[in-house]
Structure 1
Amino acid sequence: MDLYAEFCRHTATLAPKQSLLVAFSGGLDSTALLALAARLAREQGRAVRAVHIAHGLQAAAEPWPAHCARVAESLGVPCQTIRVQVELGPRVSLEAAARESRYRALAEVMMPGEILLTGHHQDDQAETLLLALKRGAGVAGLAAMPMRKPFGPGQQWRPLLTCSRRQLEAFAREEGVSWVDDPSNADDDFDRNFLRNRILPPLLAQWPSFNRTLARSAELCAEQMELAAELVEADLPDLLNSAGGVSIAGLQTLSRARRHNVLRHWLQQHGIHSSRSQLQAIWQELALARVDAEPEVRLGKRCIRRYQDFLYLPTAGSTPRPLANVRTGEWLHCGVGKLRLGPVSRGADLVAGFDLAELHIAFQVPGLRARPAGRSGSRPLKKLWQEYGIPPWQRPQIPLLMQGNQLVAAVGLFVCQAFSPEPDAPGWRLEWQPG
């Protein structure tokens, strides 16, 4: 394989003059990557720079920043060293913590539209897939590392995923560039090192193309993941209500696989990655609970709740802020959103002629009754919340436009009959923007 031709094939869609940022550890993979990127930049007249992240985790790494600077200079590439503090947390491995610190630092120094290049190769892809199998991962985990993905203000590309480590080493030797060997790579206490040093060598001795076939399996899983994402685009929108809840009745019409797919993607949209057992718990303990129950299932620091026939993922809401008076013609912020009241000659939301000086915004006023426009008779506000399908945890966030002790409107929901104008009549326009 002509490594440079393969690299050019995977970077052929770069925009003219689009700049490159190489994550440069000083090891073999990133050294070969930097040499390839430097050659491409010279031929195409594009900017390229390198960033070395110093974790400070081992004494052997102290000379690496100077080494990286020398290699980058020999290739005509500017190199920046960033020192980071690795923060360990509960149930977080040192590998994961170091990776998180590294990528956070890279995202902070990226320029808008810049492409981050990382030196992951075919052997890394095989290790990633095997680690996913060890965890019992689904299609998303078995898809391993994508060739491209959004990152920071730009994208991360892995243009060497189809190349083996042996090919990278041959290229680096031909180019005459030197690299450093991380002594921690010999520590088999790390899962990836154990696979690399103890498991994969006999597998490759028996089946030389094993890494290549594993990479092909990852590509097939990635295709299935794309198909699942397309399927959820057809399924999920019709199941959502205006408050972001997912219809249980709608979910019941889907097969179990499609139901899990919808729930998984819905949770991912809120930054939550769920296991198969958690999806089953959501269905059994929430969706199939008795109709009058209001149970919840916790996922880390978040919880999923059921109200009426919908599943919700409540977020920590803003603090409501009552307004002692409502001025007209300007946006007024009440903590959970903003509203504006202004006169209009037709198509009004509120009738003209009532006392604006008595208007104020309140929240959770006890004992209120209301008759929404078009309804017969008044009802307690609590009953109206139920009829409108407002979950209990959202009700304290609803602004109540009051005239003295009388409810004028539940902002964003309804206007009371006594303050509702005739069609196309003049009066007041009530605008509301939540958030």
Structure 2
Amino acid sequence: MLSSSVIESALDQVKPAAHLYVAYSGGVDSHVLLHLCASMPGLAGKITAVYVHHGLQAEADAWAVHCRNTAEALGVGFNALYVNAAAAPGESPEEAARDARYSALKALMDADDVLLVAQHRDDQLETVLLQLFRGSGLRGLSGMPEHMVFGRGVMLRPLLNISRQAIRHYAESHKLSWVEDPSNLHIDYDRNFLRNIIVPLIKQRWPACDKTVARSARHCAEAQALISVIAGDLFHAVFNEADKTLSISSLQLLNKPRQQLVIRHWFQTLGLKMPAQDFVERILSQIVAARVGSDPVLSGRGYDVRRYRDKLYCLKQLPKQALQDISWPVGQTSLKVTDDQVWLCMPSSTGILRERWLNANVVVRFRRGGEKMQLPGRKGRHVLKNLFQEAGIPPWEREGMPLIYLDDQLAAVGDQWISAEFYAEKTDGCIRLHRQKQE
């Protein structure tokens, strides 16, 4: 018999919640979850039902009203979040809606907050089958975890070991009123096709398959946990914390399966979606194994994987920009140079004299090739290309590095070098440039 004890057991796994959010769509599963929580006196005043309005259904406004009325009747708080769940090119509508929903819910979470979601054992069966059909590894076949870090708080799935039938029985016995989403019947969505067509056929032959598949998922999760420990040890031996890169020479000392483990652990550390097997193999064959000195690029979902010298980089993709000359207005202490760069003019005891800066025509330009400058304390004039190589600055960073001209003379290269002709030392009388990265 389904009771509030499942909520108590789930909450016992984490420290006491400062606030409890319940993801409430108005459907039977989330309504039962909210009803169970509202029946617990110890949670009084801590619960907020959260309805995410995706803007994809004509009935969504009416569902929001239904959810608000239900929350008020149960004596819990209510919050409606409005999101843009339109799918990007190449993205599935299901994935777009889920990502939009989770992003909105994460923004609510504070430290010690808990989010409860209503996925149950039959949802777990569908998830594992979908991952199996997609050729997923152990991580995917582990299904959904019962609890996980979510934003600044924790997400719990207290109904994950409860069947759909038991949830429906609870709703009917308590005479709950819920909404039915007609899109759940559209079998052009993979999960709905499984739920409405495939799983009923499987259950005719194997009635307990939701239990047995859930057990297999737990076995996979246990195996994945062990592998993650191994992967973590391998990963930290090749990872450069300062710039989030991997040492290529260290990576190449490992055999291929261990290299793949490290690459996946890297993506997890960077907060990126787990790459497909084919993409991992292409990273190893096209980037890691590339000729030293080459600059191959492998593009993924919003990022580029590249190499420079002995480092493997995973960089956020930026749109190609036309780099044009920019005048630096007199007296202005900051200047947006590209979409991801703002440069600040900061006081310093060494650098370009402030008076000279303020009285000059300051223009930001970008490399055209052949630029030279003399450095303080060094003889001769040096080609910028050689200076960049000497400093180990990757090619893609050189392209957007601003060249600062004062009265048409090259005075500085970003925050790297100041020309000997402009370099000065004067306590609090100089300025230097500092880059402020834009996320």
TM over 0.5: yes
The whole-number CA distance in structure 2 between the counterparts of 1:426 and 1:67 is: 64
Distance change (3 Å), C-alpha of 1:274 and 1:353: closer
For structure 1, the residue ranges without an aligned partner over 5 or more in a row are none
Deviation, 1:32, is 1.6
The whole-number CA distance in structure 2 between the counterparts of 1:258 and 1:6 is: 39
The whole-number CA distance in structure 1 between the counterparts of 2:72 and 2:61 is: 19
Match of 1:262 in 2: 262
Identity of aligned residues (%): 32
In 2, are the aligned partners of 1:304 and 1:311 still within 8 Å (CA)?
yes
Q: 2:384 aligns with which of 378, 381, 385?
A: 381
In 2, are the aligned partners of 1:71 and 1:177 still within 8 Å (CA)?
no
The whole-number CA distance in structure 2 between the counterparts of 1:362 and 1:105 is: 39
Deviations 1:179-218, CA, capped at 9 Å, x for gaps: 4555655555543344343354146436684144134235
Deviation, 1:252, is 1.3
Distance change (3 Å), C-alpha of 1:323 and 1:253: farther
Distance change (3 Å), C-alpha of 1:352 and 1:433: closer
The whole-number CA distance in structure 1 between the counterparts of 2:227 and 2:155 is: 19
Deviation, 1:98, is 4.3
Secondary structure (helix, strand or coil) at the match of 2:249 reads helix
| 1:29-428 equivalences in 2 (<5 Å) | 29-40=29-40, 42-53=41-52, 68=67, 71-78=70-77, 87-100=86-99, 102-103=101-102, 106=105, 110=108, 112=110, 114-151=113-150, 154-180=153-179, 185=184, 188-196=187-195, 197-202=199-204, 204-205=206-207, 209-220=211-222, 223-224=225-226, 226-227=228-229, 230-231=232-233, 234-238=236-240, 242=243, 245-267=245-267, 269=270, 271=272, 273-300=274-301, 302-312=303-313, 313=315, 315-316=317-318, 322-324=326-328, 331-335=333-337, 336-342=341-347, 344=349, 349-350=350-351, 355-356=356-357, 357-358=359-360, 360=362, 362-364=364-366, 366-373=369-376, 375=378, 377-402=380-405, 404=407, 407-416=410-419, 428=430
Query: Quick one: which amino acid aligns to residue 276 of structure 1?
Result: Q
Distance change (3 Å), C-alpha of 1:249 and 1:363: farther
Secondary structure (helix, strand or coil) at the match of 1:393 reads helix
Distance change (3 Å), C-alpha of 1:334 and 1:273: same
In 2, are the aligned partners of 1:17 and 1:46 still within 8 Å (CA)?
no
Distance change (3 Å), C-alpha of 1:182 and 1:351: closer
Query: Quick one: which amino acid aligns to residue 22 of structure 1?
Result: V
Distance change (3 Å), C-alpha of 1:54 and 1:403: closer
In 2, are the aligned partners of 1:320 and 1:397 still within 8 Å (CA)?
no
Deviations 1:87-124, CA, capped at 9 Å, x for gaps: 3554444444444454456567x465553321011221
Secondary structure (helix, strand or coil) at the match of 2:4 reads helix
In 1, are the aligned partners of 2:239 and 2:246 still within 8 Å (CA)?
no
Query: Quick one: which amino acid aligns to residue 133 of structure 1?
Result: L
Query: Quick one: which amino acid aligns to residue 49 of structure 1?
Result: T
Match of 2:436 in 1: 434
Q: Which has the higher strand share?
A: 2
Distance change (3 Å), C-alpha of 1:147 and 1:233: farther
Distance change (3 Å), C-alpha of 1:247 and 1:275: same
Q: TM-score, normalised by structure 1?
A: 0.77
Deviations 1:243-291, CA, capped at 9 Å, x for gaps: x654322321233233223333444527454211112112212222223
Deviations 1:110-139, CA, capped at 9 Å, x for gaps: 465553321011221222112111101123
Count how many residue pairs are aligned between Structure 1 and Structure 2.
424
Distance change (3 Å), C-alpha of 1:412 and 1:102: closer
Distance change (3 Å), C-alpha of 1:147 and 1:245: same
The whole-number CA distance in structure 2 between the counterparts of 1:340 and 1:353 is: 10
Distance change (3 Å), C-alpha of 1:325 and 1:231: same
The whole-number CA distance in structure 2 between the counterparts of 1:325 and 1:433 is: 17
Query: Quick one: which amino acid aligns to residue 144 of structure 2?
Result: M
Deviations 1:348-401, CA, capped at 9 Å, x for gaps: x44879955448453335533234456554321112212222233321322334
Deviation, 1:38, is 0.5
Query: Quick one: which amino acid aligns to residue 398 of structure 2?
Result: R
In 2, are the aligned partners of 1:38 and 1:75 still within 8 Å (CA)?
yes
Superposition RMSD in Å: 4.2
Query: Quick one: which amino acid aligns to residue 286 of structure 1?
Result: I
Match of 1:4 in 2: 4
In 2, are the aligned partners of 1:326 and 1:361 still within 8 Å (CA)?
no
Secondary structure (helix, strand or coil) at the match of 1:146 reads coil
Secondary structure (helix, strand or coil) at the match of 1:290 reads coil
Q: TM-score, normalised by structure 2?
A: 0.76
The whole-number CA distance in structure 2 between the counterparts of 1:367 and 1:94 is: 50
For structure 2, the residue ranges without an aligned partner over 5 or more in a row are none
Distance change (3 Å), C-alpha of 1:287 and 1:27: same
Distance change (3 Å), C-alpha of 1:206 and 1:165: closer
